[in-house]
């Protein structure tokens, strides 16, 4: 009897530990970013979280658990609410779109005075949690007093990352009393343009800057989406000018040089295999193609037989195999083939004679 | 205590000898590889290995051809007679003829050779099996999973330069 009591007591002693041990650590949240890049506390924003370094499963339901500036989902650790659920964006990145003042039921002043945006990410039932993390907030209010015409976050844009461009129209003569301000812009010295076409309602909307009040405006965009550039496009700069109403006034041209970009690796062309006979398949492959190159056109000459065809692909790789087996099975005295490969721009990629092995 | 020990010993004896059966002299012919290889086989995977690249550690040294040139439809039948002796074979599916698509076949050994000796499937154009057309290596013998692997190696002056690896599964149901 005494033993039984001891066991029961021991069980109760261990129970809290057991319950606690049910929440597993998933690891720390990796890179975080937002769109818009800079935003007011009463502005809608999407936060992105890279969880590739955690044990959260791709596409799984992940929830936001925040306690600063307030605790919107308080008391629901074991059953997170739908409003706290993140959206899976692919590649182990999840996002949450919210307006801070609404989500936290706080005024902008209260949020500004708080300790910041502190959170964990978790599964619905609280059995898996990330480490404690903070969403960094970029305070851009100094722009209101800096007497600067244009300021961008970041200062150097990159093609696939967001950029916020602030404009102080008070410093640009002619912009007084503007009803709206529009972004007339392009990439690489106007190579790709998004003009301000004041007669097209959807373009008027797309190019419109957000009015921050008191003559201050903000433009938020992600270059590759905004300009819809082809795969592999290399951005060197973003050129723009601000336009008042229907071209009532403009700023001078501005150029933002693109952030240091990593030049793409050089193209790599090769045949596969390196040795072959007329009874085999010939692979033709090219990696790291230049932007716009998406096709390889081949002409293979084997004595009197000429084989032609093409393979399509993309910037990362174009690849295909030619069947030599069937068309060359009756070609006698064949010691080599001549292979000419051109791209879709008619540039010669390879002009080679390949010796053929004689099969034992 | 002593009693329990005795029981224990008795149990061990029972387990060790209880179910043994005397050989009654009946004899069944041993299962040959022909019984396992014969039948219809479908393609699971076809890989082309660049033996020159592989030997010289150049990448890539292999490519998957399973989805090309109709290889998804590749089938091969190895037929035997009632005495389990190999007769004809046939490749089905409109695929490039990497080896002769029809003919006669036999194995280099009816039983799994020991050691490093490769097991070969010899292909012939004539029923007398005097005109050898190709040699396939049976690199994985069919087992209970109903899969086998055959390899076709191209050699020139004795040096292999390409190997095609056919991973097959049985279609005998």
Q: Where are the alpha helices (DSSP H) in chain A?
A: 2-20, 100-104, 108-113, 201-206, 223-226, 325-328
Cβ contact, residue pair A325, B96, below 8 Å: yes
Low-confidence ranges of chain B (pLDDT < 50): 13-14, 18
**Would you say how long chain A is, in residues?**
360
Candidates A270, A275, A328, A330: best to mutate against B (most CBs of B within 10 A) is A275
Percentage of chain A beyond pLDDT 70 is: 93
Q: Rounded distance, CA B48 to CA B65, Å?
A: 7
What residues of B are in contact with residue A330 (Cβ under 8 Å)? Answer: none
Q: Say whether A296 sits in a helix, a strand or coil.
A: strand
Instruction: Name the β-bridge partners of A237.
Output: A257
Class for the domain spanning A268-355: mainly beta
Residue in chain B nearest A275 by alpha carbon: B161
Please compute, for residue A63, the number of CA atoms within 13 A of its CA located in the half-sphere on the CB side: 22
The token pair at B116 is 């490093």
Low-confidence ranges of chain A (pLDDT < 70): 1-21, 260-264
Q: Rounded distance, CA B167 to CA B165, Å?
A: 6
What's residue B8's pLDDT? 58
Q: Rounded distance, CA B124 to CA B117, Å?
A: 21
Cβ contact, residue pair B156, A273, below 8 Å: no
Q: Rounded distance, CA B39 to CA A186, Å?
A: 66
Q: CB distance from B69 to chain A under 8 Å?
A: yes
Q: Rounded distance, CA B101 to CA B89, Å?
A: 8
Residue in chain B nearest A322 by alpha carbon: B69
Comparing CB atoms, the residue among A281, A325, A360 nearest residue B156 is A360
Cβ contact, residue pair B97, A325, below 8 Å: yes
List the CATH code of the domain at A2-135: 2.60.40
Q: Rounded distance, CA A153 to CA A151, Å?
A: 7
Q: Give the number of beta-carbon pairs within 8 Å between A and B.
A: 64
Cβ contact, residue pair A321, B68, below 8 Å: yes
- Where exactly are the structural domains of chain A? 2-135, 142-257, 268-355
Question: Would you give the DSSP letter of residue A82?
Answer: G
Class for the domain spanning B33-170: mainly beta
Q: Rounded distance, CA B168 to CA B166, Å?
A: 6
What residues of B are in contact with residue A359 (Cβ under 8 Å)? Answer: 154-156
Q: Say whether B72 sits in a helix, a strand or coil.
A: helix
What residues of B are in contact with residue A360 (Cβ under 8 Å)? Answer: 155-158
Q: CB distance from B50 to chain A under 8 Å?
A: yes
Evaluate the CA torsion angle A110, A115, A121, A125 in order and state its sign: negative
Comparing CB atoms, the residue among A274, A280, A359 nearest residue B58 is A274
What's residue A15's pLDDT? 47
Evaluate the CA torsion angle B118, B119, B125, B129 in order and state its sign: positive
pLDDT digits (tens, 9 = 90+) for A159-203: 999 999 999 999 999 999 999 999 999 999 899 999 999 999 999
Cβ contact, residue pair B97, A359, below 8 Å: no
Minimal Cα–Cα distance from A275 to chain B, Å?
6
Evaluate the CA torsion angle A41, A44, A49, A55 in order and state its sign: positive
Comparing CB atoms, the residue among B68, B157, B162 nearest residue A273 is B162
DSSP per-residue string spanning A178-215: -S-EEEEEEETTTTEEE---TT-HHHHHHTBPEEEETT
What's residue A142's pLDDT? 93
Cβ contact, residue pair B96, A281, below 8 Å: yes
Please write down the long-range contacts of A284-288, taking CB distance under 8 Å and 24 or more positions apart. Answer: A284/A311, A284/A319, A284/A320, A284/A321, A284/A322, A284/A339, A284/A341, A285/A317, A285/A318, A285/A319, A285/A320, A286/A313, A286/A317, A286/A318, A286/A319, A286/A349, A287/A316, A287/A317, A288/A264, A288/A315, A288/A316
What's residue A315's pLDDT? 84
Minimal Cα–Cα distance from B7 to chain A, Å?
34
Q: Which fold has domain A142-257?
A: Immunoglobulin-like (2.60.40)
pLDDT digits (tens, 9 = 90+) for B135-154: 999 998 888 888 999 999 99
């Amino acid at each position: 009897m005494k033993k039984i009591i001891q066991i029961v007591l021991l069980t109760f002693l261990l129970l809290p530990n057991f319950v606690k041990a049910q929440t597993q650590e998933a690891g720390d949240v990796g890179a975080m970013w937002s769109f818009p890049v800079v935003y007011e506390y009463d502005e809608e924003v999407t936060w992105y979280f890279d969880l590739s370094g955690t044990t959260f499963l791709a596409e799984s339901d992940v929830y936001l658990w925040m306690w600063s500036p307030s605790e919107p989902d308080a008391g629901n650790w074991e059953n997170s609410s739908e409003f706290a659920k993140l959206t899976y964006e692919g590649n182990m990145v999840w996002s949450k779109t919210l307006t801070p003042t609404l989500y936290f039921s706080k005024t902008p002043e209260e949020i500004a005075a708080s300790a910041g945006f502190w959170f964990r990410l978790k599964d619905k039932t609280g059995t898996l949690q990330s480490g404690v993390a903070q969403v960094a907030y970029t305070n851009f209010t100094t722009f209101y007093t800096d007497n600067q015409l244009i300021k961008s976050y970041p200062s150097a844009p990159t093609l696939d990352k967001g950029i916020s461009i602030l404009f102080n129209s008070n410093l640009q003569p002619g912009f007084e009393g503007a009803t709206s301000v529009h972004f007339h812009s392009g990439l690489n010295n106007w190579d790709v343009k998004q003009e301000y076409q004041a007669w097209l309602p959807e373009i008027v909307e797309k190019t419109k800057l957000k009015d921050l009040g008191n003559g201050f405006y903000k433009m938020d965009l992600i270059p590759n989406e905004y300009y819809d550039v082809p795969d592999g496009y290399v951005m060197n700069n973003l050129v723009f000018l601000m336009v008042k109403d229907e071209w009532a006034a403009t700023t001078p041209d501005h150029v933002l040089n693109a952030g240091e970009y990593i030049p793409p690796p050089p193209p790599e062309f090769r045949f596969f295999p390196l040795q072959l006979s007329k009874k085999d398949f010939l692979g033709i492959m090219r990696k790291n193609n230049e932007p716009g190159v998406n096709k390889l056109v081949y002409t293979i000459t084997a004595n009197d037989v000429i084989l032609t065809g093409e393979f399509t692909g993309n910037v990362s790789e174009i690849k295909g195999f030619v069947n030599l087996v069937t068309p060359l099975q009756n070609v006698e005295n064949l010691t080599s083939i001549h292979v000419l490969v051109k791209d879709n721009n008619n540039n010669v990629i390879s002009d080679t004679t390949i010796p053929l092995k004689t099969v034992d | 205590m002593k009693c329990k020990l005795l029981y224990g010993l008795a149990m061990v004896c029972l387990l060790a000898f209880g179910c043994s059966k005397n050989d009654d002299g009946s004899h069944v012919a041993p299962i040959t590889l022909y019984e396992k290889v014969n039948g219809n086989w479908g393609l699971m995977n076809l890989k082309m290995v660049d033996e020159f690249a592989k030997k010289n550690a150049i990448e890539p040294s292999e490519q998957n051809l399973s989805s090309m040139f109709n290889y998804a439809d590749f089938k091969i039948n190895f037929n035997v007679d009632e005495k389990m002796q190999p007769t004809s074979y046939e490749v089905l599916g409109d695929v490039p003829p990497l080896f002769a698509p029809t003919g006669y076949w036999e194995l280099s050994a009816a039983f799994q050779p020991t050691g490093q000796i490769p097991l070969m499937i010899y292909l012939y154009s004539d029923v007398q099996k005097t005109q050898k057309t190709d040699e396939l290596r049976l690199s994985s013998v069919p087992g209970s999973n109903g899969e086998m692997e055959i390899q076709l190696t191209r050699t020139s002056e004795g040096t292999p330069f390409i190997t095609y690896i056919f991973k097959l599964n049985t279609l005998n149901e």
